[in-house]
A and B are shown apart, each in its own frame.
Chain A
Amino acid sequence: QQQVKQSPQSLIVQKGGISIINCAYENTAFDYFPWYQQFPGKGPALLIAIRPDVSEKKEGRFTISFNKSAKQFSLHIMDSQPGDSATYFCAATKDDKIIFGKGTRLHILP
């Protein structure tokens, strides 16, 4: 059973464009929603996160939008740069369990 559904699987964006990755969850008990960024051959690293009592969080060029009623959240990368090319994972947390989506491979064209 896939508890966190992530789309798209891959994404190609022109340099300077906006990259948007979407996630949906099923369990309303999840109480923390992080995004992780992974470069090839490395472990993922926390990028940005949000709690369900907030509808939006922005850190630099990265923004999370959260829709509690729809059980959906998304990552927006503004002014996308070639250095943003990586795999992005959304996740949802309940107690000590952290469940990840399947990931989105993002490629920014120079």
Chain B
Amino acid sequence: SQTIHQWPATLVQPVGSPLSLECTVEGTSNPNLYWYRQAAGRGLQLLFYSVGIGQISSEVPQNLSASRPQDRQFILSSKKLLLSDSGFYLCAWSVLKEKLFFGSGTQLSVL
């Protein structure tokens, strides 16, 4: 069966510090991978998606970046966090676009 792992569950970081959130998927090959951010009043905002290794589409120009070094690994990064980067970050995967499977999320607080 397919599973998605996302860590850490919670993270408190100072402004200006770097960020690395990792997501891995098991039990499937060549999935589409997604990073969403959930902030109060803004719903689920698509940040990045990837249809294959090294292929990243960015939806929101900001100080975040994403990488897909392996087929089932998706990493969200920042060199310098801003206060506005606080939120609930969700990784998701799909094989067919018709159903997204979400991870358990990372609650990021930038102080």
Interface residues of chain A, those whose CB is within 8 Å of chain B, are 6, 9, 32, 34, 36, 41-46, 49, 89, 91, 93, 95-103
Contacts and interface: CB of A to CB of B under 8 A. Distances in A.
Given A43-B90, A43-B92, A43-B105, A99 B100 contact: no
Contact of B98 (A9, A89, A93): A93
Interface residues of B, number: 24
Contacts of B92: 43
B83 interface: no
A96 B104 contact: no
Contacts, number: 59
Which A-B residue pairs are the 3 nearest by beta carbons? A43-B102, A102-B43, A100-B44
Most chain A CB inside 10 Å of its own CB: which residue of B44, B49, B51, B98: B44
Nearest to A90: B43
Interface of B: 32, 34, 36, 41-46, 49, 51, 57, 59, 90, 92, 94, 97-100, 102-105
Interface centre among A44, A98, A102, A103 (most CB of B within 10 A): A98
B16 to A, nearest CB: 28
Given A49-B99, A98-B49, A103-B43, 18 more contacts: A6-B43, A9-B41, A32-B97, A42-B105, A43-B90, A43-B104, A43-B105, A44-B100, A45-B102, A46-B99, A46-B100, A89-B43, A91-B44, A95-B97, A98-B97, A100-B44, A100-B46, A102-B41
A53 to B, nearest CB: 14
A96 B49 contact: yes
Contacts of B36: 100
Contacts of A103: 43-44
B46 A97 contact: yes
12 contacts: A9-B41, A32-B97, A32-B98, A43-B104, A45-B102, A46-B99, A91-B44, A96-B32, A96-B57, A97-B49, A97-B57, A100-B44
Contact of B100 (A41, A98, A101): A98
Given A43-B92, A103-B43, A96 B51 contact: yes
